Amino acid sequence: MDDKRIDALCEQFRALLTEQAARAEKLNSDTAPQENREKTVIGIVSGDGIGPIIIREAKRLLERLLKEEIAAGRIELREIDGLTIENRLAKGKSIPEDVLAAIRECTVLLKGPTETPKGGTMESANVSLRRELDLYANVRPVRIEKEGIDWIFFRENTEGEYTLGSRGIELPGLLAMDFKVITDAGTRRIAKAAFDYAKENGKKSVSIVTKANIMKKTDGKFSEICHEVAKDYPGIEAEDWYIDIMTANLVNPAIRSRFEVFVLPNLYGDIITDEAAQLQGGVGTAGSANLGARYAMFEAIHGTAPRMIEEGLGEYANPSSIFNACEMLLRHIGETAKADRLRAAMEACTVSEKAVAVTGDKTGATTREFADYVLSKL
């Protein structure tokens, strides 16, 4: 064994530990308020793959719904270029500095999916955005009305395996190690967000989903702090579940409708919300909110669909997920009535009527045709 290599890796780990301790201390003292701005600026970020296609239609949707507010200057839709895989690779940054500066000038973002290179050290643009804007709560609703399912997932968005996902250590030819980070303050605020939602919406239970029997330090801490927070919410039951059994529960028709609110660490939330979306009708149907104290970002939960692009099927992508994200965005900026109109239109187009169906290939409607259908129902 090469002691020099071990010593070098220990120094690397020491630097990571020092950095994350400083971040945790900052979280303990950070009370950044939401800024009051005279105008709501909605940044439109197209992304990669099918991103520009579905975002194009989402922009049309917002332009229709917010026509009066845009004309009056109360809301601005601002396109932000440069968050493409080509530009990020050329500049060697997950978010180029000029793009991040433009994003920081917005109130909220509507973002298309972005590609993350396999291997190497370039971080996911989403992970970077969540950290830079401190978007700590990833909120994903899933509804299956015919089964009485109304789930909402509160996924911690800035910690877990994703915090240092591109900065693990390796002894070539021997072993590699990645790191999982859970902080007290980070866990407390996502738990509070979940229990606040449950209280405000008349929910009776919050499911805390971990693997605390195996990941005793990190997941154990997550569960412990969630239960501490739960004490401030009498009447709301805090239930512990392991991620493997909860994954099974969601496909068990006998019990799945009993679940209401979920709170869980980053990686488990990433996986299980895709499963939940598939039950709803596919990952192309679910929207996602990323919320922080100052900024918010709304997006589809699916990726860039490279196979569709390679096969020339990009214009047949389903925009339902980004449309549902638009509904969440509208609610976030206080346009509840417009959000209700969009929800009613989406329910008509995807549940009750389904006169125009997107199949993801040439047997179904194009992205534009489905968008026209939704617009006709507003």
Domains of the chain: 35-135+292-378 (3.40.718.10)
Low-confidence ranges of the chain (pLDDT < 70): 1, 30-37, 284
Residues 258 and 142: their CA atoms lie apart, in Å, by: 14
Name the residue among 168, 154, 149 with its Cα closest to residue 278: 149
pLDDT at 31 (0 to 100) = 61
- Tokens for 10, please give them: 């220990």
pLDDT at 19 (0 to 100) = 92
pLDDT at 119 (0 to 100) = 72
- Tokens for 304, please give them: 């860039």
pLDDT at 33 (0 to 100) = 53
